[in-house]
Amino acid sequence: MIYAIADIHGRLDLLTKAFEYIRKRDPDATIILTGDYIDRGPESAGCVRFLMQEHGSEKVICLKGNHEEMLIDYYSSLSLGTDWLTYGGVQTLVSYGHSLNEPSNPGIIPEHHIAWMDNLPFFHETDHHLFVHAFLSPSKRMADQSNRMMLWGRYPKAHPTFDWSVEGKHVVHGHTPNDKPELLLGRTNLDVGAVWSNKIVIGVFDGPGGPKELIWL
């Protein structure tokens, strides 16, 4: 079975709790994380270190989120970095040892951590599901999807019977926080604002369609 987690945002406590729970329950589980491991929460550096150790196995798949992309933009061109600092980048720098009494230090995050985030995939496809950080257009084939929209897109409101699936596959994403998961025809949003709610939801997927179970931690 597949266990999906969205938008950890520096909450290492919730991340490790989720991994411990899943592995105790299902040692053969595949765990897919849909991006935004950093920013806002207190332990972004710890989340990156933890996931760098776990990722690479076929049983743990980490996707890129828009916050990883903002960090990469910051390091590519500091003139683009003010948005990242405003949207939680300061907390990430502090988690790597930066002092708020000092000017921003771009060298404080190890280069291999930045490279790891930069090389994360935009989506993951299985027989029945498409996992992505933010958005997939139901009117486009996967070959025609925009990388930027996969990181930054927002789903519009639509009639409850509208089918959001892409190429017949159910889309699983995060990026847009809600009080509870969104369970819609053709897509599931698992972002419940972990950094503020102090909770995450694990979506359990097995076979076609939406989650077979939602686990709150």
Domain count, the chain: 1
CATH number, position 34 = 3.60.21.10
Tens digit of each residue's pLDDT (9 = 90 or more) over 47-104: 999 999 998 778 999 999 999 999 998 888 755 556 888 899 999 999 999 887 776 6
Task: Say what the pLDDT of residue 102 is.
Answer: 75
- Whole-angstrom CA distances from 156 to 65, 123, 141, 153, 159 are 19, 20, 19, 9, 10
Query: What residue numbers bound the domain in which 27 lies?
Result: 2-216
201 CB-near residues (< 8 Å, 6+ apart): 6, 180, 181, 190, 192, 214, 215, 216, 217
pTM reported for the whole predicted model: 0.96
